[in-house]
Amino acid sequence: MINRAPLSLLYLNVLAIATCGLIYELLAGTLASYVLGDSVTQFSFVIGVYLSAMGVGAWLSQYILSNLARYFIEIELALALIGGVSAPVLFLAFPWIDWFRPLLFGMVFSIGVLVGLELPLLMRILKEYLDFGDLVSRVLTFDYIGALLASLLFPILFVPYLGLVRTSLLFGMLNALVAWWSTYLLRPLLSSRGLERLRWRAIVVTLLLGVGFFKADQLTTLAEENALGGKIIFTTHSPYQRIAITQKRLGFQLFLNGHLQFNSVDEYRYHEALVHPAMLGNEPPRHVLIMGGGDGLAVRECLKYSSLESLSLVDLDPAMTQLSKKFEPLNRLNHGAFSDPRVKVINEDAFIWIGKPGPQYDAVIIDFPDPGSYSVGKLYTTRFFRLLQKRLKPAALVSVQCTSPLVAPKSYWCIVRTLEATGFHVRPYHAPVPSFGIWGFALASMSEFDSTPLPFDRVQGELRFLTNDVLKGLFELPADLQPMDSEINRLDNQALVHYYDSEWNRSD
């Protein structure tokens, strides 16, 4: 018999399962809006699928005729597993699979069905001991309190302090504990056959999720989140680098090895300044080379020229170029750059690639990370630039991202002087990018060229930062960005890496 005291404990069960259910729904909605973007759509879809699945669950509950308590516990366990691993599984899977949406909605649907089964079963268990009016009012009261708790605590407590992955695993554990506890609470309604096994299964599920909770650090650490200053919505360790995407109120940010690569809010300033000066040479560019720039944002700018016939992008890391295509907000930000048939991706170390024979280009965009290590520093050496020259048509323009001339003037001028040492004519220029500060670039060509920009008539599509006057102004160096002497960066001295190290360490 269930006496009065455990009855109130059963209401606690209702509270717990209601909280868990809504948390899973919120997790799915948040995760979908992170990785697919467009939060209104994603939340609507997730809520729609979830609610209809609950309906399906409620309808299915009529077919469970006996062993109600046993079924209830089994459902709790299933929910603990699927709900608990939902966020980590979706996070790990999304950059690598083409069927992310089916996976997402499949999980939401399964969770919805299981949650939909819970309450009807519990109410039927309780109906023996309460009159119908009491039953409905009390169960629904605790259900709504649970929903309130979940919706308040999720944004205030769980997302900021635990992150999506840990929250998901934590509530999975709570679900599994409810199952374990219910084996005692509902003991009179359970046959003793297989009871011990059921308890052990509940413990194993709890432990598994617990291990996941503590191992979640390998996916994202709170320390990393603090360092990157945003919620981490995606991370991976490729053989080449650590890739992380964070989300802030206004946009998302890409980090490689902890260094900001762009912020979706103001990246257009950087990429317009990087790309268009090199594309506005005398002849409309037909064949263009981008080195680095696996985010596809420079590609987006290049695709604004109807003269473009082919674009080769050489980026070391397939994980990065894949992500730019698969991560929906980024794919949207780069206007589906990697789906354009003119774009060819080559995943290779640019230093090795540039040493091989190949065609010549009308324009080259160099968008490597900052020279913070020897393996990047080699991409700014006289050797590299000399090999690059073999791949240039005589009038080709090359634009190079050159770190901040304000924070790291020696590094900036080292790149400019190194370009000059190999025979390039170089025009230094800069652009303000709020997320980065004052950023430095260099425009180079083997032929003498005039940096007075051509009108933007050639550009098909919107420019948000550049105008003719603004472009002209970028080549005017303010008093605090004046030229200075520097060593030449060579393979056998890597002077740039040493400059960069000391200048950025000083600024930190």
Partner 1 sequence: MISRRDLFHSLLGISAASMIGCGPRVIPLQGELLGPDIGLGHRLRDRLSLVPAHADWQEIPVIIVGGGIAGLSAGWRLQQAGFHDFVLLELEDQFGGTSRSGITGSFQYPWAAHYITTPMPENMPLIQLLQEMGVVEDISADGVPVVAEHYLCREPEERIFCDGVWNEGLYPGHGASRDDLQQKSEFDASMSTWAQKRDAQGRRFFSLPIATGSDDSEAIALDNESMLSWMNRQGWTSPRLFWYVEYGCRDDYGLPLDRTSAWAGILYFAARMRTASKDSQDVITWPSGNGHIVQHLTSRLSDQLRSGQLVCQIVPPHNQDEPFGTTVVAYDKQRQQPIGFRADRVIFALPQFLAPHVIQDFSARTGRSTADFQYSSWLVANVHLRGRPQENGFPLCWDNILYGSKSLGYVVSTHQSGNDYGPSVFTWYYPFTDISSMQSREKLLKLGWADWADLVLADLSLAHPDIRSLVTRVDIMRWGHAMIQPYPGFVWGPARKAAAIPDGTIHFANTDLSGIALLEEAFYHGVRAADEVLLARAS
Which residues of this chain interact with partner 1, rule CB under 8 A? Answer: 239-240, 316, 349, 351-352, 355, 373-375, 377-378, 381-383, 490-494, 497
How large is the C-alpha radius of gyration of the chain?
29
> How far, CA to CA in Å, does 66 sit from each of 70, 124, 134?
9, 11, 23
Measured from the CB of residue 238, what is the shortest distance to partner 1 in angstroms?
Answer: 10
Which positions ≥6 away from 417 have C-beta within 8 Å? 485, 486, 487, 488
Please name the helix (run of DSSP H) or strand (run of DSSP E) that holds residue 356, with its range, or none: none
SS3 478: coil
CA distance 360 to 375: 25
In sequence order, the β-bridge partners of residue 260 are 255
Measured from the CB of residue 357, what is the shortest distance to partner 1 in angstroms?
Answer: 16
Give yes or no: 367 in active site.
yes
Length of the chain (residues): 508
Measured from the CB of residue 384, what is the shortest distance to partner 1 in angstroms?
Answer: 9
Measured from the CB of residue 493, what is the shortest distance to partner 1 in angstroms?
Answer: 6
CB 117 within 8 Å of CB 61: yes
Of 362, 367, 457, 492, the active-site residue reads 367
Q: Which is nearer to partner 1, 375 or 482 (CB)?
A: 375
Measured from the CB of residue 447, what is the shortest distance to partner 1 in angstroms?
Answer: 24
Cβ-based neighbour number of residue 204 at 10 Å: 12
Q: Which is nearer to partner 1, 327 or 353 (CB)?
A: 353
Cβ-based neighbour number of residue 200 at 10 Å: 11
SS3 117: helix
Tokens found for residue 474: 């970028």
Rounded to 10 deg, the angle between the 163-185 and 4-36 helix axes is: 160
Measured from the CB of residue 200, what is the shortest distance to partner 1 in angstroms?
Answer: 35
Q: Which is nearer to partner 1, 124 or 259 (CB)?
A: 259
Q: Which is nearer to partner 1, 425 or 490 (CB)?
A: 490
Rounded to 10 deg, the angle between the 100-126 and 39-60 helix axes is: 40
SS3 129: coil
> How far, CA to CA in Å, does 155 sit from each of 36, 148, 150, 225, 384?
19, 12, 9, 16, 49
Q: Which is nearer to partner 1, 375 or 507 (CB)?
A: 375
Catalytic residue list = 367
